Amino acid sequence: LESALNYFVAPLPSKSCVHDSPQRLQAMLPTSRQALKLATSLSTTGLKGLSTSSAASISFAHVPEAPKDPILGITEAFLKDPNPNKINLGVGAYRDDDCKPVVLESVREAERRIAGKHYMEYLPMGGMKEFVQESVKLAYGDDAQCLKDGNVAAVQSLSGTGSCRLMADFMKRFMPHSDVYISVPTWANHHNIWRDANVGIKPYRYYKAETRGLDFEGFLEDLSAAPRGSVFLLHACAHNPTGVDPTPEQWAQISKAMKERDIFPFFDMAYQGFASGDCERDAKAIRLFLADGHQLGCSQSYAKNMGLYGQRVGAFSIVTGSKKEAAAVESQMKNIARPMYSNPPLHGALLVTKILQEPALKNLWYDEVKMMAHRIILMRSVLRKNLEELNSPWKWNHITDQIGMFAYSGLSPEHVDKLAQQHSIYMTRNGRISMAGITSKNVNRLSEAIHHVICEKN
C-alpha cells in the first residue's frame, strides 16, 4: 500500500523528462500500471487483499458485560415466578388499585386537543419556550420575584435524569473546583450522572437507621464541614429512596446554614404534587430558599406527577444574580445540550404546556395528582395498621411518617430474600418498598408476610 501511494503522491515529471530517452519512459510504465492496479483494488475491496500482518485488527473481546440494574433483576425474577399472587414492590412507577399503569384523563384530553395541530419540526436547543415558562412558574411560583426580574436561566430537558446531567456538565465547565455532595442514601443514578461528568462526589449523612428517619445532626455537621462553593444535591420532596423529608423548621435551618457557608443548593424535584397531593406544598422548600436569597438550581420531571414516563420531559433551571447572568448561563445550558442530544422531544412538551396553560385541564390534573398521592398515603396507613394489629415486634410509625413513592421499610437483605423465596414478594435488597405496588387486594398478604419473616427464627 505504501509503495502504491508513493507513486500517486510523487510530483509529476518535470519538463525535462519529456526529452528522456524512449527506453527510460517505457521502463517506467509497467511499475506505474501495477501501482494503479493495486490502489484501485484497495479502493473497492478495502484491506481484504492484504495479509493479516498489514491490516489493523479491531476486537471487542476486552469489553466486559455491564452489571445488571438491580430493578431489572427484580422485574425479571417477578416475571418468572409462576405464583398468581406474586407482588412486585420494586418498580418506581404509579399503579392503580388493580396494579395497572395509569394514563391521566388530563393527559388524554390534552392529547385530543393537540392532535393534528402541530408540525413535527425540531424544537430549539432550549426546547419549547412556553413549556419552559410554565415549568419554572410551577417550581418557583407564579409571582416569584426571580421570574419577574428575569434572573432564571432555564431549558427543556430529558426529564429528571437529563436535567441532572446538564447540571453535572455545567458544574464541570463552570464550577470546576466544586464537588457535589450527595445524600446517603440517594437515587442510584445520581452517582452515575455526576461520576460520568467527572465531577467530584462527596457524601453527606441523611438517613438514620436507628430511627428510620432523618439524621439531622449528621446532615448539619457535614454541611458545616463542606468547603465554600460546594454544591449540595437536595431532594425537594419525597426523598428517594427513603421517603424521609426534613420538616419545614429543619428546611429553614438547612437554608440558613447553606447561606452562611456559601453552599449552592441544587434541588432534584421529581415528585412535585405526587408527595403530598399539593404542588404548592411540595415546592415549599425551594421557595423558602428563594425567600432566603439563595441562588439555586432545580431539576423538574413530569414522569411521576403527570405519568409521562416514556415522554422524557422535564426542565432544568438556575436562579442567577441578574438578567445578564441568566442570559449567559442559559446560552451555556444550550451549548451543553447541543452535542449531547441536540434538542429535546416535542410531544411531551406539548402535553405539559396544554395542561398547565388551560385552567380546566390544570384543575383536572391537580385533582388527579392528588388522587394518586392519596391512594399511596392510604396504603401506608393500612400497612402500618395491619402490622401493628399483628403485634409486630417492630414499631411501624416510620411507614406513615415517610412520604411519596417509596418507603424505607427497615427490612434487611435477608428479610427481602425470604420474602421473595417464601412469599413471592419482590423489592430491592435495601428494603425499599414501592408503595404504588401495594393495593387493597394485596396489602393483607404483604403485612402477614413481613410479619412472618421478621419473627422467623434463623
pLDDT tens, position by position, 132-161: 999 999 999 999 999 999 999 999 999 999
92: confidence class by pLDDT, cuts 50, 70, 90: confident
- Residue 84, pLDDT > 60, answer yes
41: confidence class by pLDDT, cuts 50, 70, 90: low
Identify the pLDDT of residue 68.
Answer: 84
Cis peptide before 203 (omega within 30 of 0): no
Is 442 within 8 Å of 378 (Cβ atoms)?
no
Identify the pLDDT of residue 37.
Answer: 55
Identify the pLDDT of residue 33.
Answer: 52
Identify the pLDDT of residue 439.
Answer: 98
For the chain, give percent helix, strand, coil, nearest 5.
Answer: 50, 10, 40
Identify the pLDDT of residue 91.
Answer: 85
Indicate which residues carry an active-site annotation.
187, 268, 304
From CA 220, how far away is CA 232, in angstroms rounded? 12
- Pairing between strand 264-269 and 213-214? unpaired
Residue 83: partners with Cβ closer than 8 Å, 6 or more residues away: 424
pLDDT tens, position by position, 3-26: 444 444 444 444 444 344 444 434
